[in-house]
Amino acid sequence: MENTSIMLTVKDMAEILRCSKAHVANVLAGKVPGLARLTHVNVGRRKLVRREWFERWIEVNQSK
């Protein structure tokens, strides 16, 4: 999947990580032990993450 937008949705992140949207929501909420909370922006009920924040989060958590 190639997404050229700057902001990623929960669905986008789940596709990239190959996990469920529920797991991504838990990461955003800081409920996954051993993983840092993923910084995000709330737009109404939607949770959006800047692509650069997501990529940095992946780099930090790769060794875990």
Residue found by looking up tokens 């990239």 in the block? 16
Please indicate, yes or no, if residue 20 is contained in any of the structural domains: yes
Domain extent at residue 40: 7-61
Give the total number of structural domains in the chain.
1
The confidence band for 4, taking pLDDT boundaries of 50, 70 and 90, is low
Please indicate, yes or no, if residue 36 is contained in any of the structural domains: yes
Q: How is the beta sheet containing 41-43 ordered, strand by strand?
A: 7-8, 46-50, 41-43
The whole model's pTM is what? 0.84
Does residue 7 contact residue 53 with C-beta atoms inside 8 Å?
no
Please indicate, yes or no, if residue 32 is contained in any of the structural domains: yes
In 3D space, the residue among 28, 44, 45 whose CA is nearest the CA of residue 36 turns out to be 28
pLDDT tens digits, one per residue of 24-50: 999 999 999 999 999 999 999 999 999
Please indicate, yes or no, if residue 2 is contained in any of the structural domains: no
